[in-house]
Every structure is written in structure tokens, then in C-alpha cells.
Structure 1
Amino acid sequence: MDATNSSRWHDVTGRIAGITFGFATQGLFLVTVWYLFWFLRDGSIGTRTGDWLLVDGGLAVIFALAHSVMLVPQTRKHLTRWIPQPFYDSLFCVVTCLSLLVLFFCWRSSESLLWSATGWAESLIRVCFYGCWAALFYSLALTGLGYQNGWTPFYYWLKKQKPPRREFKPRGAYQLIRHPVYLSFLGLVWFTPRMSIDHAVLTAIWTGYIFYGSFLKDRRLEYFVGEAYRDYQRRVPGYPLLTRGPLGRRKDVSGNVAARPSAATERKVEPERAVA
């Protein structure tokens, strides 16, 4: 096989491998969302019991660590030496999904309960749970769901085009709080009519991780967006009712909180998961 034919062969096989990986990632994402819904709604999928604290705590932490490591810019920089840039978000999705699926199927249940709601209370909690799912997808749509599951970079790779640069332009819920996606996910882990001890452990670990992750996201966006994001932090709190601390409104140099929007110049953001 001459050099030209060899190059074409590698191009064709690389294209087939990329298409297979891209569509398989989307399938894995849909399967994971399906299991995530039922796991958070009704508890453990399996029937394992015993020694649950160490196992469940470890599974919850492993997911948080895997998710965090993939978000570190240095991780992207290192891994994109070995994989094409358009597939990093797909790889991120695969790592997240696999860590969640391991958690779902290896989780162990505790028979002890903190609360078990019935009647109208159970119905109200269910409504809040479903509402949080709607809020989650709404919030993800505002920032680009296709970047969360890797579809957008993969789609432009299929078209042999470079994906558009993402812009920092808060809209919708992002004009009220900085982290509506994380707030929605908090609701998913808290709104359960049957709070077993193992679910309480998951809720505690993931709640701490979500708040810490919110802080890290602010730091990433400060780095990628710059002054426009710092101005946004002065105007918009991270979460409702938070007026102080790193997730409240950012104070300006004089120590005051901005009272009204300024005309900060919008700045384009690199297609990393900076706005995710």
C-alpha cells in the first residue's frame, strides 16, 4: 500500500471510529439519564445491603473526583495530545456517565429512614422533584446542552467545520442567579419522599460538592471571561438568599456591592467547559 492509499485508509478508519464513538456517547448519555432519574426518584436500583456506608461514600466521592478532574484545564490540555479536540467533551460525558452507572449498580441500601412522606406531602415532593428536572434541562439549554454531552463539537466535526466560539451572555435564569444548573441538581437530591440513611449520605456529599463546584466554576469563568464575569458576580448572586461569602455577590474594590448592571463588554469564551 503506497503512502497516498495509506493516508486515505487512516482517514477513513479515523472517520468511522469518530462517528462510532460520537453516537455511542449520545446513547450512553441517554441511558445514564434514564437510570439517574429512577435512582434519585426511588433510591437504589439494586438490592445490596450491608457495609453500605464505606461503599456508598466511596462511590459518591469517586463520581465527584472523576467529574472534577475532567473539568481541570490541565486535564484537557494533556488529553488532547492523544485525542482530537472535538471529542474531549464526548470523553468528559463518557467518564461522567460511567462513574454514575457504577454508582447506580454498586450502591448499597440502608433500611433506616430519616423520613418517609405519604399523602399530600409525598405528592408535593414529587412535584418539586419533577420541577427540578424541568429546571435542569431549561438551565442546560441556556448554556448549551450539546456542550454538556459532547454533541455540539461532535456535530461540527461531522460537518468538518469548526464549532462557533461560545459567548458569555447571561440570559433567562442566569440573570437572577449564577448557578441555576447546580441549584436544580440540588433539588434532585433533596426532594425525595423517602430519605434513607444511604440517600442522606449521597445528599450530604453531593451537596458539599455542588457548592464547592460552584465556587470553582466562578474561578474558571473569572479566568476565561475576565472583567465581564467579575462585573456579573457583582450584580448577580450565586444562589438565592446568599448575600455574603464566595457564592454571594462579589464586592468591588471599595467593598460595596454593585446595585445595578454596568455596561461591561461581552467577551468570547473558549469552547472549554467554562460556561458549563
Structure 2
Amino acid sequence: MTTTMRRPAPGTVEVAGRIAAVGYGVAAYVLFLLVFSWAIAFVEGIRITIGDSDLVARTIDHGGPTVPAAIALLVNVVLLTIFAAQHSVMARAGFKRWWTRIVPVVVERSTYVLAASLCLAALMWWWCPITAELWDVSGTLASSILVAVSLAGWLLVLTTTFLIDHFDLFGLRQVVTNARGRPAPTYRFVTPLWYGIVRHPIYLGFLIAFWVTPTMTTGHLVFAIATIGFIFVGIRLEERDLVRAFGADYVAYRKRVPMLLPALRHRV
């Protein structure tokens, strides 16, 4: 008795791959949404409890292991460094050229989003609070104002992602376009809304969210200072890539629009 094995019909494997890519991209995006929401609660000190279960038990100043301040500082710096290295290295054009020899181009962005979400989740999970207070205005009118401003920073981050194509930024557009059998997205240089005021409104939003707080602990300060370093390194690397991609258009834009603060006319 002999048996024969049928080969998949032409295109079947390709279609399955496209569907798998969409599933992968959606999963990475959903994870991002969950981790981003957790990050807001983490930084803002929002502890969410449902019944007897803590949905968000750890924040930048509460929960986590209790260790000496020196060890906490070392652990936190390592966690911040890992996140910053992943975020910066994987975003570089040179790394992408090498990486896409291993990972299909269509899921490269989704893989970046997945890695960034996992690194941020690990940072928040293993973060060691250092609770010595530098200032605390909780329970005052100033506290309410500072919380509102900080949340406005998060809102600035979120709204800016939609200005520059939210779903492309987080990898969904690429996998959906591929599933439809359409050419890869093309990019053009545009400066919508906030981008006409500052060159990096997403980074500005993060700075506002991280620094404006009614209670500044030593641990929170370490987090905020580290993000300043990461942001300025990220800007230098990102703008180098943007100049290579858009040439004279970006050079002229950089001369015309300030980096982060509208009131400061220093452009670069």
C-alpha cells in the first residue's frame, strides 16, 4: 500500500504566513497597550485593586522588593540601561538591516514593539523603590495641578502617535498591508500639529509625565534623570537617521523648529 502526500496549493504557505504575521502584530500591539497602561499607573503611583486582588500592585514608589538603597539604585540603573539599550539599538537603521536577515521585514516593527514592551514590563516588575522624599505636596491644590499636568504629558505622547500614524508606529499597518498583498508602506516627511512647535513632542510628553509629580522620591528622581539621558541620546541618534532619510528637508526643519522647548530658540 502506498500513500501520497499532497503539497499545499500554490500560495497556501504564503497566505498562512501573512495571517500569522497579522496575528503576531496584533499580539505585540495588545501587549504594548497593556504595558503602556501599566506604565502610566506605575509612574503616577496608581494602585488598582479589584476585590482582594491587586491588578497593579507595584508603582515607582510602592511594592517591589525591600533592599538597601545602594542595591536598589544598582538594580534600577541596570534595568534602565537594558531598556534604553534595547530601545535605541533596535531602532537604528544599521541594526534593522542586519536584523531583517533573521526576522521578516514585515514583522520587524512588531518585533521591536514586542521587545520594548517586554523590557519595560521587566523594568516595572523588578523596580526597587527608593522612597526617601525630596518633596511632597500631596493633599494640596498644587498636587491636583501637578497630577493634571503629568497626565497631560501622557496625553501628548498618545495624541502624537496618531499624528504620525499610530498603527504604523506600532507595526500593525505593515502586517495588514502585507496580508492584503499590497506594497510596503512608503514614508514622506510631514510635520503635523505639535511637530510644527517642537521636533520631538513624544519625548517632551514623557519628560512632562516623568518630572511633574506631587511626590518626588529618590527612586522617582533616578528614573527621571535616567530618562533625560536616554532621551537626549535617542534624539541624536534618531535625528542622524532622519537626516539620512529625508536629507535637506529635515535639515531645514531642524533649523526652523526647536528640539523640545518652544521657548528656546536653540535649534539643534
- TM-score range (shorter-chain normalised) is 0.7 to 0.9
Work out whether 1:89 is the aligned partner of 2:139: no
Equivalent position SS for 1:162: coil
CA contact (8 A) 2:92 2:238 kept: no
Q: What residue number does 1:29 align with?
A: 32
Q: What residue number does 1:20 align with?
A: 23
Q: What residue number does 2:63 align with?
A: 46
Equivalent position SS for 1:115: strand
Q: What residue number does 1:211 align with?
A: 232
- 1:148 deviation in Å? 2.2
Aligned residue among 215, 219, 227 for 1:198:
219
Work out whether 1:161 is the aligned partner of 2:182: yes
- 1:160 deviation in Å? 1.9
- 1:13 deviation in Å? 4.4
Letter in 2 for 1:48: P
- 1:168 deviation in Å? 0.3
**Percent identity of paired positions between Structure 1 and Structure 2:** 28
Equivalent position SS for 1:18: helix
| 1:151-178 CA-partner distances (Å, limit 9, x unpaired) | 1112212222124311102121111111
Work out whether 1:79 is the aligned partner of 2:99: yes
Judge which range, 1-10 or 227-236, deviates more: 1-10
Equivalent position SS for 2:134: strand
CA contact (8 A) 2:18 2:178 kept: no
- 1:199 deviation in Å? 1.1
Distance 2:259 2:131 in 1: 36
Distance 1:8 1:172 in 2: 43
- 1:16 deviation in Å? 4.3
1:161-180 matches, within 5 Å, as 161-180=182-201
Q: TM-score, normalised by structure 1?
A: 0.83
Q: What residue number does 1:242 align with?
A: 264
Judge which range, 90-99 or 215-224, deviates more: 215-224
- 1:7 deviation in Å? 6.0
CA contact (8 A) 1:152 1:163 kept: no
What are structure 1's unaligned runs of at least 5 residues?
251-276
Name the Cα RMSD after superposition: 1.9
Q: What residue number does 1:270 align with?
A: none
Distance 2:161 2:189 in 1: 14
Distance 1:106 1:226 in 2: 42
| 1:83-133 CA-partner distances (Å, limit 9, x unpaired) | 221111100100110000000110011121111122111101111011112
- 1:17 deviation in Å? 2.8
What are structure 2's unaligned runs of at least 5 residues?
46-58
1:75-154 matches, within 5 Å, as 75-118=95-138, 119-154=140-175
| 1:24-45 CA-partner distances (Å, limit 9, x unpaired) | 1121011111111101111336
CA contact (8 A) 1:46 1:105 kept: no
Distance 1:176 1:111 in 2: 36
- 1:179 deviation in Å? 0.9
Q: What residue number does 2:50 align with?
A: none
Distance 1:149 1:117 in 2: 37
Equivalent position SS for 1:195: strand
Q: TM-score, normalised by structure 2?
A: 0.85
Equivalent position SS for 1:167: coil
**Count of aligned pairs:** 246
Judge which range, 130-139 or 86-95, deviates more: 130-139
